[in-house]
Amino acid sequence: MTNQFDFIIVGAGSAGCALASRLSEDPQNRVLVLEFGGTDAGPFIQMPAALSYPMNMSLYDWGFESEPEPHLDGRRLATPRGKVIGGSSSINGMVYVRGHACDFDTWEEMGAAGWGYRHVLPYYKRMETSHGGQDGWRGTNGPMHIQRGSKWNPLFRAFKDAGEQAGYGVTEDYNGERQEGFADMEMTVHKGRRWSAANAYLKPALNRGNLDLIKGALVRKVIIKNGRATGVEFEVGGEIQIAHATREVVLSASAINSPKILMQSGIGPADHLSELGIDVVADRPGVGSNLQDHLELYLQQACTQPITLYKHWNLISKAVIGAQWLFFKNGLGASNQFESCAFIRSKAGVKYPDIQYHFLPFAVRYDGKAAAEGHGFQAHVGPMRSKSRGRIRLTSNDPRSKPSILFNYMSHEEDWEDFRTCIRLTREIFGQEAFAPYRGKEIQPGDHVQTDKDLNAFIKEHVESAYHPSCTCKMGAKDDPLAVVDPECRVIGVDGLRVADSSIFPQITNGNLNGPSLMVGEKASDHILGKTPLSASNQEPWINPAWETSQR
């Protein structure tokens, strides 16, 4: 194999797989993808219902965790990131959310020119094949298959009905014209299998003769000569190698690893790099700063009827479900079980939803560890736009060292107010008539937890990351001192180097991040290839007409 390529992509995650596919469509382009992880073969990744396994397996996960979080009594929170082809799209919960239209218009206001909703909507359409989405708003022949669940359990319906009874709207497609309301949740599953970025983009593209993938490659740094990225130094099998890029190097290594590799390459806050003995190539103080994430709570209610997934929480049932999936790719194993959801506003005066719900007909932790005492159901709920900001820093100049990750969660008083609101609004929803046939006692937090003080104590102890780290290589105007890349994803101050993944978001989007990360890969590919961007859309998204005076 040659060590000379037109393009080198670091990271075979959501954006990286999309880039690899688009950049290699022209047979003249030689493209190399470097991925530290290995194969995604096997049922733990490919079977949707097994989602709690891969993110807790060191084989597939980088194993990052936060520093002791000062506002959460020093708790260290797990920060899983995919270390496998497909990246985090191979270990995530498979929930598909584009984000709200206003998210992208906000990006544009923050300096990401050309990334407003009207600009990104055509890329969402290009990448999707939507099964059951709203006509005219969704893609119909893209590589990413998006589907809805079978809604086999009556609790999925009860959640939507309860939302309606509580005075919220219902939307036919939260990824279409209207996000706000209660809805059927969408998942990246196709023909019963997890439809990761690897399955959708990378594997088909690897059949082309001009795309190479090296697995087990730990990237040490980007090689920069005379202000231009010329290649990548990486280690594979204990041997250090160099691959040369005649056109561009693109980092798509995650919101944790993209800033880490930039700093290892001499691009970042000059004082921090100098302390570690790293030669400064470009002083970009924004590298690794602006870290954002979503936090969530699991609010759990006992179920008086034996209809939840708890009845399958035993070896015999798991074996039957696994066998059905293995042979037929259907049954309970073919769903992530997040089949109902909601996006609502926390109060009047909030223009677009700032609270997200995932509903699950089971009371269990995301990591599969703490099965509840019996039949129950739960809502994962959290605010979408915390003002808290964290940072990524290197711990040494050794590329093998894990970075220091501090989210600085719950550092604003508003965060606590928002979470208390989430709990109280959820209790109101669970208290509706639709849940009357099923509603037992409140398992968590428990009826005795009512005062602000008690709610704060519960939040502090139980809040968990939704695993949406982002925004650490912020996209913005070239004269923004904290911007890392310009609106064409080019690293400011270095030629021939781009970043394209969730790290370039100026602000975290409303919902899960796999969809927007894929979109970034799609749109960045056109910028890299010098293509005219897709024509802007003139479709107008729905905004609640009473948003200024009403919460619902």
Q: Is 32 annotated as a binding residue?
A: yes
Distance between start and end Cα atoms, the chain: 60
* 209 within some domain: yes
* 238 within some domain: yes
Does 432 lie in the same domain as 370?
yes
Instruction: State the pLDDT at residue 291.
Output: 98
What is the separation of C-alpha 31 from the centre of its chain, rounded to a whole number of angstroms? Answer: 25
Does 363 lie in the same domain as 304?
yes
Q: CATH number of the domain at 77, please.
A: 3.50.50.60
* 26 within some domain: yes
Does 261 lie in the same domain as 235?
yes
State the catalytic residue, choosing from 119, 294, 358, 468. 468
- The total domain count for the chain is 2
Q: Is 17 annotated as a binding residue?
A: yes
Instruction: State the pLDDT at residue 364.
Output: 82
Which of 445, 462, 479 delimits the end of a domain?
Answer: 462
H or E stretch at 18:
helix 14-23
Q: Is 11 annotated as a binding residue?
A: yes
Q: Within the chain, what is the greatest distance between any pair of CA atoms?
A: 70
Does 378 lie in the same domain as 449?
yes
Contact 389, 470 (CB under 8 A): no
What's the pLDDT band for 35 if we cut at 50, 70, 90? very high
Token pair of 521 as six digits = 């890969």
pLDDT digit string, tens, across residues 300-343: 999 999 999 999 988 999 999 999 999 999 999 999 999 999 99
Q: Is 273 annotated as a binding residue?
A: no
Does 317 lie in the same domain as 202?
no
Q: Is 20 annotated as a binding residue?
A: yes
Does 426 lie in the same domain as 363?
yes
Backbone angles phi, psi at 465, to 5 degrees: -70, 145
Closest CA to 58 of 86, 34, 81, 33: 81
Q: Is 34 annotated as a binding residue?
A: yes
Q: CA angle, 144 as apex, 141 and 149 as ends, to 5°?
A: 105
Q: CATH number of the domain at 455, please.
A: 3.30.410.40
H or E stretch at 263:
helix 254-264
Q: Is 22 annotated as a binding residue?
A: yes
Does 86 lie in the same domain as 23?
yes
pLDDT of 474 over the 80 cut: yes
Active site annotation includes 468: yes
What's the pLDDT band for 373 if we cut at 50, 70, 90? confident
Closest CA to 64 of 327, 329, 392: 392
Which of 422, 439, 462 delimits the end of a domain?
Answer: 462
Q: Give the count of beta carbons closer than 10 Å to the beta carbon of residue 244.
A: 15
Q: Where are the alpha helices (DSSP H) in 110-250?
A: 117-127, 154-165, 197, 203-205
Three-state SS string over 334-395 comes to: HCCCCCEEEEECCCCCCCCCCEEEEEECCCCCCCCCCCCCCCEEEEEEEECCCCCCEEEECC
Q: Is 94 annotated as a binding residue?
A: yes
Instruction: State the pLDDT at residue 1.
Output: 65
What is the distance between the alpha carbons of residues 28 and 7, in angstroms, rounded to a whole number? Answer: 11
At a CB cut-off of 8 Å and minimum separation 6, what does 341 contact? Answer: 95, 174, 182, 183, 184, 185, 356, 357, 358, 359
What is the distance between the alpha carbons of residues 133 and 148, in angstroms, rounded to a whole number? Answer: 9
Share of the chain above pLDDT 70, in %: 98
What is the distance between the alpha carbons of residues 89 and 509, in angstroms, rounded to a whole number? Answer: 17
At a CB cut-off of 8 Å and minimum separation 6, what does 250 contact? Answer: 7, 8, 9, 10, 16, 19, 489, 497, 498, 499, 500, 524, 528
Token pair of 255 as six digits = 């919101």
Q: Give the count of beta carbons closer than 10 Å to the beta carbon of residue 350.
A: 16
Q: Is 10 annotated as a binding residue?
A: yes
What is the distance between the alpha carbons of residues 61 and 184, in angstroms, rounded to a whole number? Answer: 29
Mean pLDDT of 63-81: 97
What's the pLDDT band for 2 if we cut at 50, 70, 90? confident
* 190 within some domain: no
* 354 within some domain: yes
Does 416 lie in the same domain as 329?
yes
Which of 424, 439, 462 delimits the end of a domain?
Answer: 462
Amino acid identity, position 260:
K
Mean pLDDT of the chain: 96
Flag the least confident range among 2-11, 133-142, 208-217, 358-367.
358-367
pLDDT of 382 over the 90 cut: yes
Indicate left, alpha or beta for 512 from its phi (over 0: left) and psi (-120 to 50: alpha). Answer: beta
Contact 76, 253 (CB under 8 A): no
Does 171 lie in the same domain as 45?
no
Does 175 lie in the same domain as 74?
no
Contact 77, 388 (CB under 8 A): no
At a CB cut-off of 8 Å and minimum separation 6, what does 312 contact? Answer: 318, 321, 332
Flag the least confident range among 41-45, 176-180, 269-273, 525-529.
41-45
* 122 within some domain: no
* 142 within some domain: no
Share of the chain above pLDDT 90, in %: 96
Strands 439-444 vs 144-148: parallel, antiparallel or unpaired: unpaired
* 542 within some domain: no
What is the distance between the alpha carbons of residues 336 and 47, in angstroms, rounded to a whole number? Answer: 9
Does 523 lie in the same domain as 498?
yes
Q: Is 35 annotated as a binding residue?
A: yes
Q: Is 12 annotated as a binding residue?
A: yes
Does 498 lie in the same domain as 428?
no
What is the distance between the alpha carbons of residues 33 and 24, in angstroms, rounded to a whole number? Answer: 11
Instruction: State the pLDDT at residue 244.
Output: 98
pLDDT digit string, tens, across residues 208-254: 999 999 999 999 999 999 999 999 999 999 999 999 999 999 999 99
- Domain range for 49 is 1-96+197-293+391-404+471-534
Mean pLDDT of 433-446: 96
